[in-house]
Amino acid sequence: MEFKNPEQEIEGFQHRLAFAGGFVLLAFFLLFARLFWLQVFQHEYYRTRAEDNRISLVPILPNRGLILDRNGVVMARNYSAYTLEITPSRAGNLEAAIDGLAQVIEIQPKDRKRFRKLLDESKNFESLPIRTRLSDAEVAKFIAHRYRFPGVDIKARLFRQYPYNESASHLLGYIGRINDNDLDRIEEKDAEPNYRGTEHFGKTGLELKYEFDLHGQTGFEKVEIDAGGRAVRVLSRIPPVTGNNLTLTVDAKLQQIAEQAFGDRRGALVAIEPATGGILALVSMPGYDPNLFVDGIDPQNWDGLNNSPDKPMVNRALNGAYPPGSTFKPYMALAALEIGKRTAQQTIFDPGSYSFGGHVFRDDKKGGHGTVDMYKSIVQSCDTYYYMLSNDMGIDNIANFMRKFGFGQKTGVDIEGESEGVLPSQEWKKKHFKKPEQQRWYAGETISIGIGQGYNSYTPIQLAQAIATLANDGVMFRPHIVKYITDTRTGKALPIETQPLRTISLKPQHLETIKQALIGVNKEGTGARAFAGAEYVSAGKTGTAQVYSLKGEKYSEGHVAERMRDHALFIAFAPADQPKIALAVLVENGGFGAQAAAPIARQVLDYYLLGKQPKSAAPADSAEPEED
């Protein structure tokens, strides 16, 4: 057993204590060094990070620009509506909160579905709508129960509204929630900062084409936020700038008159002001209600629109390509005059058919039209005259002339989704077909080209552009819907498309010959019945395009299923000497052009030139079949 000396023991203890004291000093020095490093050397870096932490830029959405017709009538506007919104970071258990809300305000499963989708796509501190368009009663009811729902608020938001509903739907288009496709477009334009907080994007029509004009400048609020993302106070604010307004060349009333004239038939109408190329009306029937899309279309409506055999979502005026039928003849005649293959006075004899290469091409009139000059060939729409003319001109002469009028090319109108159509030529056939024997052009194929059949296929807007160009003596414009864009900040208007695209050189006497013939159509020819008693002089041409190929049989409307019936066409301009309006009408499976399409044109012209309202929406359909 060892006894320790107390002195020694105390000394030993004090050594240990001194050692511990040294350790304490070392540790505190280490701490000090760490603090010095953070607070002196790294201060700038952490100061910036603290600033980034506390400051958040909250976007303030601009009002979307309005769309106005040529007379200032509002066709697309914004309205403020109450929405019920949840800020997920403050609401606690979301499912429980929504269940609780559902006891106060009606919340449908589709609202929940939409909310969940939004939640997946959003950042946590955004407030997201669970219900839109609350009624005043619902707002009052919620406010009484508000204390039960932290993080749930009523907010006033702007919604897009199309006051004319189905009218002009294909032209205006609609907006919908931004998707990946839209994000690509935004990225392409480097517009991401301006789209922070934006929920909607133009999907079709003008809303898409002029999206970046309509959107406006997003404003920002510099907000101090806490760790939970709650705004504590506003530090500074840059106000948003309202989007630019679009003023259209379209006349909203004319548009409606034209749409009503179609009744429940399918088809398209494009009316153009020949002197400017401005589109006065652009109709595709049937239409749809763009308001359905604004805050997410429900599956039921979506399926209804997409599965309808009438295809209401297709813009027939731009996207549909149809054989022009006899509306092609005036251009054929003009080409013949210009190339010198015919004179106006030159006549042919029409026995009722034309034989070529062992094939008989029939004329619609049994027994034929007898002796036919150019005027009569147009006014009575004599097929045999054009069978012969086609053969005399050859396919490439036809194609080269027609190309100048814009046939078979996109017009470049300011909405998307245009088809090219088909302007047949040797070259086209070579490109379009794969097998060598199909790539060859056969002379027999040229014959029916002259009456607007065969491979011919054009969009209604191409037909309208062509007749407008003819009416304007060959001065051609790019058809356009927007007249000018108004900067809402400066009030300055930026006009669109003031210069003609090109001028087709045409001899005035040739133009005069064709115009006189077209006037004759509405006076004493196939359009005479539709234009009986008109208080202005108009020029027109009827057309009927075959859908169903008849193999030498006589076409009989009653025996062919509705969808197999011919398409009815009509092109026109008026007044004939100083054209203010030119148009092309197409009625799908409408039968004869004179019967189905011309009366629609009459109503449109009557309203536009005289301000006359039609007596009944649907034109009489009882007229006897006429020569076309």
Partner 1 sequence: MQLRTLWQKLAAPIDPPLMTMSLILLGFALLVVSSASAERLGAQFFNMLIALLVMRVTAQISPQKLMYFALPVFVGGLLLLVAVALFGDVSKGARRWLNLGFMRIQPSEIMKIAMPLMLAWYFQRHETYLRLREYVVAALILLLPVGLIAKQPDLGTAILVLAAGFYVIFLAGLSWKVLAGLVVSAVAMAPLAWSMMRDYQKSRILTLLDPEADPLGKGFHIIQSTIAIGSGGILGKGWGQGTQAQLEFIPERHTDFIFAVLSEEFGLIGSTLLLILYALLIGRGMMIAANAPTLFTRLLAGSITLIFFTYAFVNMGMVSGILPVVGIPLPFVSYGGTSLTTLFLGIGILMSIHKHRMLVQK
Binding site for partner 1 (CB under 8 A): 1-4, 9-10, 12-14, 16-17, 20-21, 24-25, 27-28, 30-32, 34-36, 38-40, 42-43, 45-47, 49-51, 53-54, 224-228, 232
**Three-state SS for 291?**
helix
Q: How far is the CB of 154 from partner 1 (least distance, A)?
A: 27
Q: How many residues does the chain have?
A: 628
Q: Tokens at residue 52, please?
A: 């980034």
Q: How far is the CB of 51 from partner 1 (least distance, A)?
A: 8
Q: How far is the CB of 36 from partner 1 (least distance, A)?
A: 7
CB of 224 or CB of 373, closer to partner 1: 224
> At what angle are helices 395-404 and 329-339 packed, to 10 degrees?
110
Nearest to 214 by CA among 233, 231, 228, 200: 200
> Which residue is associated with the tokens 């009218």?
167
CB of 21 or CB of 495, closer to partner 1: 21
Q: Tokens at residue 45, please?
A: 């870096």
Q: How far is the CB of 123 from partner 1 (least distance, A)?
A: 12
Phi-psi region of 423 (alpha: psi -120 to 50; beta: other; left: phi over 0): beta
CB of 31 or CB of 143, closer to partner 1: 31
Q: Where are the beta strands (DSSP E) in 2-119?
A: 55-60, 67-68, 74-86
> Which residue is associated with the tokens 């009815």?
568
CB atoms near residue 512 (< 10 Å): 12
Q: Where are the beta strands (DSSP E) in 29-97?
A: 55-60, 67-68, 74-86
135 as an active site residue: the answer is no
* Cα dihedral 516→522→528→530 (10° resolution): 180
Q: Distance between CA 422 and CA 455 in Å, rounded?
A: 7
Q: How far is the CB of 216 from partner 1 (least distance, A)?
A: 32
CB of 53 or CB of 103, closer to partner 1: 53
CB of 16 or CB of 440, closer to partner 1: 16
Nearest to 250 by CA among 410, 73, 467, 415: 73
The set of residues, in sequence order, having a beta carbon less than 8 Å from that of 139 and lying 6+ positions away, is 82, 154
Q: Tokens at residue 495, please?
A: 């006009």
> Which residue is associated with the tokens 């449908």?
108
* Cα dihedral 306→309→312→315 (10° resolution): 100
Query: Do strands 175-177 and 200-202 pair parallel, antiparallel, or not at all (unpaired)?
Result: antiparallel
Quickly list DSSP for 245-258: EEEES--HHHHHHH
Q: How far is the CB of 119 from partner 1 (least distance, A)?
A: 17
CB of 10 or CB of 617, closer to partner 1: 10
H or E stretch including 188? helix 180-188
Q: How far is the CB of 313 from partner 1 (least distance, A)?
A: 43
Q: Distance between CA 617 and CA 603 in Å, rounded?
A: 9
Q: How far is the CB of 14 from partner 1 (least distance, A)?
A: 6
The set of residues, in sequence order, having a beta carbon less than 8 Å from that of 5 and lying 6+ positions away, is none
> Which residue is associated with the tokens 């907006």?
175
CB of 45 or CB of 433, closer to partner 1: 45
CB of 10 or CB of 610, closer to partner 1: 10
The one catalytic residue in 167, 169, 326, 390 is: 326
Q: Are 486 and 245 in contact (CB under 8 A)?
A: yes
Q: How far is the CB of 226 from partner 1 (least distance, A)?
A: 4
Q: Distance between CA 329 and CA 388 in Å, rounded?
A: 12
CB of 38 or CB of 564, closer to partner 1: 38
Would you please indicate which residues are annotated as catalytic (active-site) residues?
326
